[in-house]
Chain A
Amino acid sequence: MTEALVARVRDALRVVIDPELGQNIVDLGFVYDITTDGGEVHITMTATTPGCPATGFLKDGVQAAVAKIPGVVAVDVAMTFEPPWTPSLIEPAIRASLGFAAVN
């Protein structure tokens, strides 16, 4: 049940994109951790850079996307910049299409 809900959360988060990179935050590696406790979902995520003005919208978008999932009663989203995001966290095929160096 828990694993199934985590998978549904991960799927739901694919509607949230980084507006600059144009890819969903799951494939970009922004989602560091998803845990569930009954119907409560806890998400730890990051963004490309701490000063990014889109950060607040990303957090709100994650909240909204997960809240729609049947069975979810509460969503807690924590934004962290430790460890900092790097392009190595992007899915390899997408990383190449975005023009990132393989190691950076």
Chain B
Amino acid sequence: MIGGSLFRWTMAYFAAALAWLLVALALMLGGVGYPAADIASPDTLVLVHAVTIGWLSLAMCGALFQFVPVLVAKPLFAEPWALPALGLLTSGLVCLLAGFLALGGRLPLALWLLPVGAVLLVTGFTLVVVDLGLTAWLRPTGPASFVLVGLASLCATAAFGSIFAFALAGWGGSAGEAVLASGVPLHAIAGLGGWLTLTAMGVSYRLLSMFMLSPDVNERQSRITLATGALAIAVTVAGGALAIGLASGMSAVLLLAGVLGLVSAALYGRDVAGIFRNRKRRQLELNMRIATLSFASLAGVAVLGVALIAVGELAAQVGAFTFLAVFGWLSGLVLAKLYKIVAFLTWLETYGPVMGRTPTPRVQDLVAEGRATKWFVIYYVAVWAGTLTLLAGEPGAFRLAVAAMTLGVAGIIREIVRIRRLADVAHPLRLPGGAIAPHLLFARN
């Protein structure tokens, strides 16, 4: 976006991500994976990776390719890598999920699909990490430093995941078996806590400040938040790997990481509250109002985690805990920000080039917030209800909640498509002279 240019493939990443979210919701509706199956079952692995790689990681990559150059005021290191990366990630995920289905006996036994999927995914993520990492490294301050730690966490997550894939195929040796036996929490914490959460935190600082016209968070303050979160991930990965090597228990490592994670989340809450308090725009747009539900969900995740540890139920209820983190905190925030980012980028792409030559609409003219509000509300009520049904051990009620989530997500996707089609822009301003209607899946830059 330097000098007015737009990253060409953000919409393609977002479209692929939303398609995977629908796949994941369909799986849950169909009773595939937790809670219908055991939390460690191959079916649950299919579900978890459709959500974390397909939905959340692709959405995050699409947003980062657009915004990291803005954060550092430099162009992307290698923009042509982005589309091959999307192809590698998509084909790798399909192979990985097919491997899990084979592991669970739903497909003919072809466990070699797991390492093949892992290699494709690692190759795709390597392109992403090198491209974004070398770009963010040019100015590693503020939100860009969160992105760098997030990318490092992604490397750790992918490394653990690859070892698991080879071990499940029987190619991991005794070391691979040992890592597979104890390393799943490390993989999950590095992925959800490091890659997805720390990156989302960093990007949210910039987006919240930019769209609410609030001063940036004090650099020293956000550094402490990041350092605490990064330490939590470092303790998890290094301490956990050491514990596996020494064949000792991992409770102490996970407890320390949990405390650090909790402190980081609290500091982030303080930072975000400051951004809201100091904003110059008093009226909140829909995406900001919905983002507050995401922050409330993150607080809920923290409270739930502490409560479950206090009553000794964390292991038994880790599914509900993870569900709230993934769908309440991360997915809710990503959906809210997609709604805004798509409108903003579509405006820049369509009307930016003709500004000054002809009257143009506002970004807010591309959206119909009144209509979109109900889909977001349905989504959030369903997510919270789904969390409660999981805690209560009611899989039938959980599927009803997922049905409502699916309705909400379908409505949000429809709104996003309408934004891209300029469907809600009043006619005289919709396509003024010289303006070109945007393509649904890529930017004509």
Contact = CB atoms under 8 A, between A and B. Distances in A.
Interface of A: 15-17, 19-22, 48-49, 51-54, 56-58, 60-66, 68, 86-87, 98-101, 104
Contacts, number: 85
Contacts of B359: 15
A52 B210 contact: yes
A20 B365 CA distance: 10
Contact of A22 (B348, B357, B364): B364
Contact of A64 (B2, B347, B357): B357
B281 to A, nearest CB: 6
A33 B301 CA distance: 51
Contact of A65 (B209, B348, B352, B356): B356
A10 B2 CA distance: 27
Contact of A54 (B282, B352, B356, B365): B352
B280 A19 contact: no
A95 to B, nearest CB: 10
Question: B interface, how many residues as a size bin?
Answer: 20 to 34
Interface string B346-373: 0110011101111110111100000000
B356 A62 contact: yes
Contacts of A15: 355-359
A87 B280 contact: yes
B433 interface: no
Top-7 shortest CB links A-B: A61-B355, A61-B356, A22-B362, A56-B4, A64-B356, A99-B283, A57-B352
Given A65-B357, A100-B282, A17 B362 contact: yes
B355 A17 contact: yes
B352 to A, nearest CB: 4
Contacts of A61: 352, 355-357
Nearest to B213: A48
A45 B264 CA distance: 39
Contacts of B136: none
Chain B interface helix/strand/loop/mixed: helix
22 contacts: A16-B355, A17-B362, A19-B351, A20-B344, A48-B213, A49-B209, A51-B70, A52-B210, A54-B348, A56-B2, A57-B4, A57-B348, A57-B353, A58-B355, A61-B352, A61-B356, A62-B356, A64-B355, A65-B357, A100-B280, A100-B282, A101-B282
Interface in B318-342: none
Given A51-B71, A53-B70, A104-B280, A20 B211 contact: yes
Nearest to A66: B356
B3 interface: yes
A81 B209 CA distance: 16
Contact of A49 (B210, B282, B356): B210
B349 to A, nearest CB: 10
A88 B344 CA distance: 25
A57 B206 contact: no
Nearest to B5: A56
B283 to A, nearest CB: 4
A41 to B, nearest CB: 13
Nearest to A86: B280
A97 B18 CA distance: 36
Contacts of A66: 356
Interface string B1-28: 1111000000000000000000000000
Given A22-B364, A61-B355, 5 more contacts: A15-B355, A17-B362, A49-B210, A57-B348, A98-B281
